[in-house]
Structure 1
Amino acid sequence: MPTAIAVTGAGLALPAQDERTVPAVVLDDIDSRPLDEAVVTVQQLLDGYGHLVVVCAKAAPAAVVQRLHMIRSLLESDRIALLQPDLPPLGLAVLARQLRQLASCDLGPGVLASAGRLLTHYIHAGALLGTVARLDHVPVTLTSHARSWVPGSQFAVLAHPQPQLVKAGPGVTVPGPEFGTWLLLAKGQLPAEWVTETLAPAWRTQGLRETPLPAESTRWWGTNKVVEFCAYLPDLSVLYQLVTSVRQSVCHWCGIDVIGDRCVFCSATPPPVPEPARALTASGPRHALPAG
């Protein structure tokens, strides 16, 4: 029984990468539905799949996150994991699809949920913007703010893994991955030539695909003059090898297999390791009492 991978918006449910990719569960308007209806929906998912991993933006509206925590609390379930990586919308959608790919493999729910944090390190996500006047998620200098008011200005922004912002132009790029990736782009109201003709060759991408711009992207980037891009690992065999090469352990609280230092389902961390008892030497303790 595959673990269900859910997203909080239809725009985060990318088309399947291959025939094995499991469909995404879309929890659309989870914060505005009647609470009892939302609880029943999630309970049915748990009954059908056993475990549920919800991929949600770290910058998601507070009402969405609060509703998800409330449902988990009402169901008193440790079979619901909320994964909130610090990624822009397209990168978040790519991560969710990678988990959907892995959900078809022989990975336990704890390992699969933990894999989300691991795979986030291999995602390079950013955008080409026509203005940075309302960009809140990446540091913007006063100079860049001023330049954004100049007609025709474009800015290349890398949001993850290391935030960086430069004025886009021929031969000007942002740091990319040092391993082979594919590039996914989503166009708003801005031409994509810089991404396809400058960024993609500089990043030595092995292929390029296009997808509609997620609805959340305009709010995240602060403008509809955007071309969002994301470099990622597309092959299931590579993803599986990455995840299974990491040492697994058993969560001491809920008993499922996990990778990393925290269980994504119950949030338990490994108990502290007690200091080993001081071994006695053959001659006895150093400060032994005198006999008598």
Structure 2
Amino acid sequence: MQSLLGSVFGFGPKKELHNLEGRVAVITGGSQGIGYAVARGFVEAKAKVILVNRSWDTGSDAIRGIKKDFGVDAQVEWYHCDLGNLKETREVFMGIREREKRLDLLVLDAGINVNRFALDHDGIDCHFGVNWLGHFYVINLLYPLMRRTSKMPGAPAPRIILESSEAHRMAPSTKFDSIEDINNSNLGPMQLYARSKLAMILGVKYGLLERVIKPNGDNIYAIAVHPGTVNTAMQQQWKEAYPGLIGKVLTNVSLAVSRSPEQGSYSALYAATSPEIEQKGWNGVYLTDPGQLGKESSQASDPQLGAALWHLSEKLVKEKVGEDAFEDWNA
């Protein structure tokens, strides 16, 4: 419905895209849905785009679609990676870091929608493991390259964009203090999803900004965005989360009020390319639409909860990958 109203009457968010010639972008989940729409926007703006996701089938289709619409010379690549497998994540993204000379934009879009409790490859709740923890590790692995890019003469400040959600308001009371807290199988599908989106906002605000960017004086921006309810294949996960009639009803209602994937990409495109971000000093913020600051929930505004999330995230990655898993945030 939002998609139809937007195209006919101009309702909803507006697309804002600025020239990205010579810049390099990495997008997780970039071969489908919102991530694919972001990728198309970046290619349209002349960036080199690297797509990363776990579906073997969609990667080549995405590249074909982009080259068909933007020409065979469009700079787009694809790599396979399951963000629920931290060792594979390390291998893939260290490879990207070693191959690329710069990284200007990192859009973290891959994710699991509302679904039942399940463990990822590393034995961690898959919502938390994929939506937050895998992306947390990706940021760490690529951060040295982004820091180096930020010091290049004339280079705009690199930006890190995480696709969060207004659903973070529905997160259960959590402590982020142990794997037992994370792997609570009594939580419902929406609670699991909402908690992972809460982690994204906390990670941007009290992790990246307060623990890395500010202490090091880095000219790098980290922003969480809300894309809106978007008509993608992920909406079908409602049927898995709530089998039977309820799941079908929730899927149909969600699709009826949803935006198109292109409309869902507008918040990320704005956060990644708009000069207003730097002009207004919007670092560590949460945007609900292009140019619109969101008001986070009380849990998302808790610095102690943010610190607990950061410490637990580092602990879990080291347990799964090894004590030498991390790049020094301060190097």
State the TM-score, normalizing by the size of structure 2: 0.31
Larger relative contact order (CA 8 Å, sep ≥ 6): 2
State the TM-score, normalizing by the size of structure 1: 0.34
Structure (1/2) with the larger strand percentage: 1
Larger Rg: 1
